[in-house]
Amino acid sequence: MSAALINGQAGGGIDSADRGLQYGDGLFETITCSDGEPRWLALHLERLQHGCERLRIAFRDMELLRAEIRGLAADQRRCIVKVMVTRGTATRRGYAPAGDERPTRIVSRHEWPDPPLRAASGFQVGISSVTLGTNPLLAGLKHLNRLEQVLAQMQRDARAVDEVLMLSTAGQVIGGSMSNVFLADDNGLVTPELGACGVAGVMRRLVLEAAATLGQPVNVRPVAGSELAAAREVFVTNVRWGVQSVRLLDGRALAGDAHARRLHTVIDASRA
């Protein structure tokens, strides 16, 4: 089931001088595949291209990458394809790239993960004490530097919950360790603004588009951590979970999931 291509070749290795390994100098995408087709592939590649432009990684083989992703997804009922693009093997030592590196692309296929721990009894979310550092230059990008999320998921596992929400060092809710988050208030939906840190997820984008189709207002703004205590409905999103309603937030039961159910129906019907 598992398979990997490195610059199009099966069974290859990564140069120890690759800047993705040395410095986390690269980007990644996690793509869900169903019935042999990668879902929302155009949006994933658009975000990857945008990230390469922001980081000035000279990767332009998007059509070749698209073909490799489709090739690994073909004939699979359900799987995950992960894509990594790094700046490539360093041609000199040090943080600063020389500018003549050749990007490395890694495409790998993985088994569909097990469902969340409590999918049948209710999705449980805690609040992590691991905070996200603010850096507008990297905000929104799915770059390879994920140590904050690694620490947060270690806390998640220790607490035996399905996901943890992460705040910025300024005390603003940003999202989950592997998801974006939406809250419902009297005026509709609220989701954190991601200008300082966090990842702008593909499913988050789809939720914003689906909400507009349904005429549901969504306020994208800074969300203080204190607002979580009053939230009536919360859901988290990523391309694997889709729109996942939260039943317990930091031990508090949430009864509502009306917004999440409506949005899930619209997004799932798209089958993009």
- Which pLDDT does position 234 carry in this prediction? 96
Of the pLDDT bands very low, low, confident and very high (cuts 50, 70, 90), residue 255 is: confident
Which part of the chain is CATH 3.20.10.10? 124-270
pLDDT digits (tens, 9 = 90+) for 100-111: 999 999 999 999
pTM to 2 decimal places = 0.94
Top mean-pLDDT range of 27-41, 114-128, 175-189? 27-41
User: What percentage of the chain carries pLDDT values higher than 70?
Assistant: 97
- Which pLDDT does position 118 carry in this prediction? 57
Which part of the chain is CATH 3.30.470.10? 3-111
* Pairing state between β 3-6 and 104-111: antiparallel
More confident residue, 22 or 2: 22
Q: Is the pLDDT reported for residue 167 higher than 90?
A: yes
Which top CATH class is 3-111? Answer: alpha beta
CATH number of this structure's domain 124-270: 3.20.10.10
Dihedral angle sign, alpha carbons of residues 94, 97, 100, 106:
positive
Residue type, 37: E
- Which pLDDT does position 1 carry in this prediction? 66
Q: Is the pLDDT reported for residue 28 higher than 80?
A: yes
Q: Name the strand (E) or helix (H) holding 43.
A: helix 41-55
Q: How many CB atoms lie within 10 A of CB 262?
A: 15
- Which pLDDT does position 185 carry in this prediction? 77
